[in-house]
Amino acid sequence: VIEWHTLCAPHAAQNQLTSLICQGAFDRNPDLKVVMLEGGVVWIQWLMWRLDQQYREFRNVVPWVKRLPSAHIRDNVRASSQPTTEVTPQEFERLVELSGTEMIYMFATDYPHYDADTAASVFPKSMSKDLRDRVRYRNALEFYPKLAGFTG
Amino acid sequence: MTRHEVCALDELEPGQMRAVDLDGTPIVVIRTQSGDLHALRDRCPHMLASLSKGLVLENVNSPSIGHYELDDDRFVVRCPWHGYEFDVSTGVCEADPRRAKVRSYPLVVDDGTIYLER
């Protein structure tokens, strides 16, 4: 269960996201929006850095990809918070700041699974209001077309 | 602006490069397969490899997903270490134009001799 819980969803999310980018899904469909669920979020910064590095070195094998992979992720991909990794709010904020990914994260509970998260535990008041609000509702309002016009 | 002699034009075959030390500045003079001449700083901004030890190639483009084509009017120099590619005429790396770029320098050919101008 440790192996499954640690790797299953985050690995699947990274595999799928890497294929979507390298196979040109976002270049062909610039309005395509993808949300990765139940895989957590603290792998996404590494994936962006690694994909960008590989793209800088091997753009010629995927010449149909016209932008840095991290740009596609910022514009077209979101990831839900559950399951949280046990980092402090300050550590998470630092990671977000380092990677420029404040628009990526959206709150999810995974209720009624035993390891569900609550908003209060994941995004406590010690986190900056701007990032808390983004994760709790603003990122979703901006990302889902059917929520256009809602202001929270 | 001062002229610095590089070599005779016919000493540099199409597709070849030549490393030049210009008062301590490493510069690569490139002659593309179509015969055009360009000069770039001879250091990849990634890890400072000499681009002059890499390759001059037609840029790889794509008309659609899964299909490759070569630009016959656009050339890149490919870094020998990790493959970063820089447009020979602008020094810009297409994969990351904001962060990866090498400086380009003007060249002239006068009476069969290539000169760098600086």
Among the partner-chain residues A57, A58, A63, the one whose CB lies closest to the CB of B62 is A63
Side chain identity, residue A92: F
Both tokens of residue A118? 């609550």
Whether residue A64 and residue B64 make contact (CB cut-off 8 A), yes or no, is yes
Q: How far is CA A21 from CA A18, A28, A43, A77, A88, in A?
A: 5, 10, 16, 10, 31
Specify burial of residue B39 (Cβ count, 10 A radius: 0-12, 13-18, 19+).
Answer: buried
Secondary structure of chain A as H, E, C letters: CHHHHHHHHHHHHHHHHHHHHHCCHHHHCCCCCEEECCCCCCCHHHHHHHHHHHHHHHHHHCCCCCCCHHHHHHHHEEEECCCCCCCCHHHHHHHHHHHCCCCCEECCCCCCCCCCCCHHHHCCCCCCHHHHHHHHHHHHHHHCHHHCCCCC
Is pLDDT of B32 > 80? yes
B contact set with A (CB within 8 A): 46, 60-62, 64-68, 82-85, 93-96, 100
Q: Where does the pLDDT of residue B61 fall: very low under 50, low under 70, confident under 90, or very high at 90 and above?
A: very high
Contact call for residues A147 and A140 (beta carbons, < 8 A): yes
Q: So what's the ipTM on this one?
A: 0.92
The model's pLDDT over A48-69, given as tens digits with 9 standing for 90+, comes to 999 999 999 999 999 999 999 9
pLDDT at A152: 64
Whether residue B96 and residue A28 make contact (CB cut-off 8 A), yes or no, is no
pTM for the model stands at 0.92
Window from A4-8, A115-119, B32-36, B71-75 with minimum mean pLDDT: A115-119
Window from A44-48, A52-56, A70-74, A120-124 with minimum mean pLDDT: A120-124
